């Protein structure tokens, strides 16, 4: 199974959640997710076992975020179009998307994944420099991926509304 489709199912992303997630506040606040998860795991150093509560809350934020904000009044913005493009990308097994987007998305996701070992090691070793590197690496390539989703949406809306 595609990890993206799995994540969408695990997040219970129905049409209403996707419509709300198209709100720019939802998209931009989503970039707090990785730092919050980092802080929650790092808190084990300060509050020991009670860090489990912060870890759970940080993962709850991942689930709540797409549902927290209202449907946007306008979707003529980068964040909303990125969300629409992501939906198109997730539906790529049912609706063909241009190969140049598919290749670029795979490259960006692979580059983003390179940051994961730094992220995990930084949390494990409590190495703030490595953790920041992992966070930034993943977030930069995720933002680039969202930007590619905007391109995908703009191209696909013209050819297949």
Question: Which DSSP string do the residues of 16-78 spell out, in sequence order?
Answer: HHHHHHTSHHHHHHHTTHHHHHHHHHHTHHHHGGGHHHHHHHHHHHHHHHHHHSPPPS---SH
d(Cα 82, Cα 64) in Å, to the nearest integer?
19
d(Cα 108, Cα 111) in Å, to the nearest integer?
5
Domain count, the chain: 1
Residue 115 has, within 13 A of its CA and on its CB side, a CA count of: 18
pLDDT of residue 12: 77
d(Cα 37, Cα 30) in Å, to the nearest integer?
12
pLDDT tens digits in sequence order for the chain, 161 residues long? 566 666 666 677 888 999 999 999 999 999 999 999 999 999 999 999 999 999 999 999 999 999 999 999 999 999 999 999 999 999 999 989 999 999 999 999 999 999 999 999 999 999 999 999 999 999 999 999 999 999 999 999 887 76
- Write out the residue range of the structural domain in which residue 9 sits: 3-159
pLDDT of residue 11: 73
pLDDT of residue 8: 64
Which two tokens mark 83?
């969300």
Global pTM reads 0.88
d(Cα 21, Cα 134) in Å, to the nearest integer?
25
């Amino acid at each position: 199974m595609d990890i993206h489709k799995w994540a969408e199912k695990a997040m219970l992303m129905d049409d209403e959640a996707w419509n709300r997630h198209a709100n720019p506040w939802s998209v931009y606040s989503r970039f707090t997710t990785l730092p919050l998860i980092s802080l929650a795991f790092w808190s084990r150093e300060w509050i020991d076992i009670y860090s489990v509560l912060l870890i759970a809350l940080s993962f709850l934020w991942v689930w709540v975020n797409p549902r927290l904000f209202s449907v946007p009044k306008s979707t003529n913005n980068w964040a909303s179009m990125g969300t629409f493009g992501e939906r198109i990308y997730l539906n790529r097994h049912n609706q063909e998307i241009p190969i140049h987007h598919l290749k670029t998305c795979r490259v960006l996701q692979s580059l983003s994944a390179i940051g994961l070992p730094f992220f995990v090691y930084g949390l494990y070793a409590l190495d703030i420099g490595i953790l920041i590197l992992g966070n930034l690496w993943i977030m930069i390539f995720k933002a680039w991926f969202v930007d590619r989703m905007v391109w995908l949406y703009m191209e696909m809306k013209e050819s297949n509304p």
